[in-house]
Amino acid sequence: MNVEESSVQFEAPGRLRHFLTTEGLGRETIVEILDIAESFISVGERRIKKVPLLHGKTVVNLFFEPSTRTRTTFEIAAKRLSADVINLSSARMSTSKGESVLDTVKTLEAMHTDMFVVRDKASGTAHLIARHMPPGVSIINAGDGRHAHPTQAMLDVFTIRQYKNDFEPLSIAITGDILHSRVARSQIHALRQLGVKDIRIIGPATLLPTRIEKLGVRTYYDMDEGVADADVLIMLRVQTERMDGQLLPGPEEYFRYYGLSEKRLKLARPDAIVMHPGPMNRGLEIASGVADGPRSVILSQVTNGIAVRMAIMAKLAGDAHRESHS
């Protein structure tokens, strides 16, 4: 993260104004959010699934790119914090009529919106909006192009912590379409700050970014070698909608070389866990027997997504309140 991006994300050291990227977030801030999320897990188990932390606040889910799963978990998270929630998709927004993204956001901000959750197929949209927001209004990046998906990375590391406790000794293998994956980039930044030294990136050369080793990872073109003795296996969706067909071999060939089968899973450690940010392409990235098997924590990721997104919203609201009274 450059200095400009850092100044946009942080109000002061440790105080978040926006949540735009995991890059440069810092171990203390990441752990603080994970700890807050831990306290919210029990909320989903109550008869009345509400806490009043965002009572009287308005949260707008502003999705210029569709994503039912992410939007729904943000909506549930905000409602469990007692916020008023408005969902807007690109099909229903003025941007489809020619109005700019900033004009749309400023119009909604003039209606006293407190927090925007923004998703867009273009990289940098959340950062652009954040730079034009007045004090007290927070932006959460729910995915922008190939750039970042920080809340997904946070729920992933939260899930890893549930099952593995200490990050530093872990070997974590991330497999698949790294080239188009905003999730992988956000995961790498978060895992590095949490002390993970062995991060492995696995995939065909056509789906791996050039110079990705600069992020502190090791690349593998042979999946059997890459998953050997790994503690955590993260499978990524093959994003066929973002790529030229020449980048990807046929489905059967891809699964043979880079799909997670039950046989290949045996190469990892006996207590290794299997993750996938979803939605899954069964039979392409992962066998159904693995996705639904005893090592899979994929449904835990979905459940944890609500608590983690609650924690990020609560952190932003709390830091904004402290800033206004400092």
d(CA 231, CA 227) in angstroms, rounded, equals 9
d(CA 46, CA 134) in angstroms, rounded, equals 36
d(CA 76, CA 83) in angstroms, rounded, equals 10
pLDDT in tens, 14-50: 899 999 999 999 999 999 999 999 999 999 888 899 9
Alpha helices in the chain (DSSP H): 3-9, 27-40, 68-80, 101-109, 125-130, 150-164, 182-193, 223-227, 251-258, 262-265, 288-291, 298-324
Domains of the chain (ranges plus CATH)? 3-149+303-324 (3.40.50.1370), 150-298 (3.40.50.1370)
DSSP letters for 17-84:
S-B--STT--HHHHHHHHHHHHHHGGGGGSSS----TTTT-EEEEEESS--HHHHHHHHHHHHHTT-E
Q: Which of 161, 236, 172, 237 is nearest to 200 (CA)?
A: 172
Residue-level pLDDT at 3: 47
Global confidence as pTM: 0.93
In degrees and rounded to multiples of 5, residue 131 shows phi and psi of -65, -15
d(CA 152, CA 141) in angstroms, rounded, equals 10
Residue-level pLDDT at 212: 92
Residue-level pLDDT at 66: 81
Q: Is the peptide bond before 169 cis (omega within 30 degrees of 0)?
A: no
Specify whether the CB–CB gap between 289 and 265 falls below 8 A: no
Regions in the chain scoring below 50 on pLDDT: 2-3, 97, 242-243
d(CA 275, CA 268) in angstroms, rounded, equals 13
Burial class (CB in 10 A: 0-12, 13-18, 19+), 221: middle
DSSP 271: T
Residue-level pLDDT at 93: 59
pLDDT in tens, 246-278: 566 677 888 999 999 999 999 999 999 999 998
Residue-level pLDDT at 65: 87
d(CA 77, CA 46) in angstroms, rounded, equals 14
d(CA 224, CA 308) in angstroms, rounded, equals 32
For residue 46, the tally of other CB atoms under 10 A from its CB is 10
Residue-level pLDDT at 113: 95
